[in-house]
Amino acid sequence: MGIRVAVAGASGYAGGELLRLLAGHPDLEVAVVSAGSSAGKPITSVHPHLVGHPAFDGKNFAATDAAALGDAELIFMALPHGESAKLADALPHTRIVDLSADFRLGDEQAWHKFYGADADYAGRWAYGLPELPSAPGKASAREQITTARTVAAPGCYATTSVLALAPLLAAGLAEPDDIVVVAASGTSGAGRSLRPDLLASEIMGSMSAYKAGGAHRHTPEIEQALAEACGTPVTLSFTPTLAPMPRGILATCTARLTQQARQSQNPEQALRDALAAAYGSSPFVHLLPAGQWPATAAVYGSNGAHLQAAADLHAGRAVVVSTTDNLGKGAAGQAVQLANLMLGLPETAGLTTHGVAP
């Protein structure tokens, strides 16, 4: 028997990916699978890719409530924003990994600005990006996660962007007051709800921007994480775009080079060295060989992240391109990685860094 875990809100894309990963996990046993409007429906009618697994065949989604979930040793919450906090209050002693935004921000004013003036602010949990560099004198992100009862998994755009820029800021190679990120995401990042702008006929053969001008909810999260990595406030201009693919994120992240970086013998190598030092021992984050640029297909279906850096000396900017699977390292894969750390299991258990190609 493995460690009993539950997935709350498992009818969405992130929830379905969590179930797929947990189905192959050597140490975790899926005890409860819950949903909201899909409660009572067969699990495999919503997630047909799970047909044939004994944890899901012939079983229905349970209702999402504390009574149904409380027996689990760890609960993954893949609920809509605003719902996790209410459920967590009813589970005061259970380990939780939350995939929503309810517990990511430490700034209540920023929370209300991006999630609504009437939205309840629940406070901040340990931030679940194990690879995040820590400011001097602070416990590492991995140490904080390992000892926490409750952890907030980062957003997909935030994960992809922060991995690209945090080591450069921490090393003093990039200026924190002029950061620009333009990122393309697959449609699964918008969730499973029916929306006209996500119809196949609207997105096939087309790319579009949305929530530009600092309006996207991941903006304060990215700024918060980067500021903690370098110990100083960060200013970010973030533009998300929608790409005609089901999953994946490609983020182009730039920042002004510092004088230290510009005066180094080889600025581009300095950037690469900082990334290599930060992620050289990481099982999931990989700096690609010089000249090889990230592609979303290379991390499809994995918990991997690929990075490449360049120094644009004409514009005086550091450029880092980063890619993840928004349902993998950007959501479900990272949630499993966090659970492994919290439960004292091998960090890589049930996960792969290798994508599915072609």
| Torsion angle defined by CA atoms of residues 194, 197, 199 and 204, in that order, rounded to the nearest 10 degrees | -150
Catalytic residue among 18, 19, 105, 156: 156
Give the whole-angstrom CA distance, residue 316 versus residue 308. 17
156 annotated active-site: yes
Question: Kind and range of the H or E element at 46?
Answer: helix 43-46
Q: Is 64 exposed, middle or buried (0-12, 13-18, 19+ CB in 10 A)?
A: buried
List alpha helices for 54-182, DSSP H: 66-69, 84-89, 108-115, 141-147, 156-170
Give the whole-angstrom CA distance, residue 189 versus residue 166. 23
Q: What is the DSSP letter of 80?
A: P
User: Could you give the C-alpha distances from 261 to 173, 251, 253, in angstroms and in order?
Assistant: 5, 22, 16
Give the whole-angstrom CA distance, residue 45 versus residue 21. 18
In total, the chain counts a number of residues equal to: 358
CA within 13 Å, CB half, 104:
29
Q: Is 136 exposed, middle or buried (0-12, 13-18, 19+ CB in 10 A)?
A: exposed
Q: Which residue in this structure is represented by tokens 């201009």? A: 237
Residue 324 structure tokens: 């993840």
Residues 270 and 182 sit within 8 Å (Cβ to Cβ): no
Catalytic residue numbers, as ranges: 156
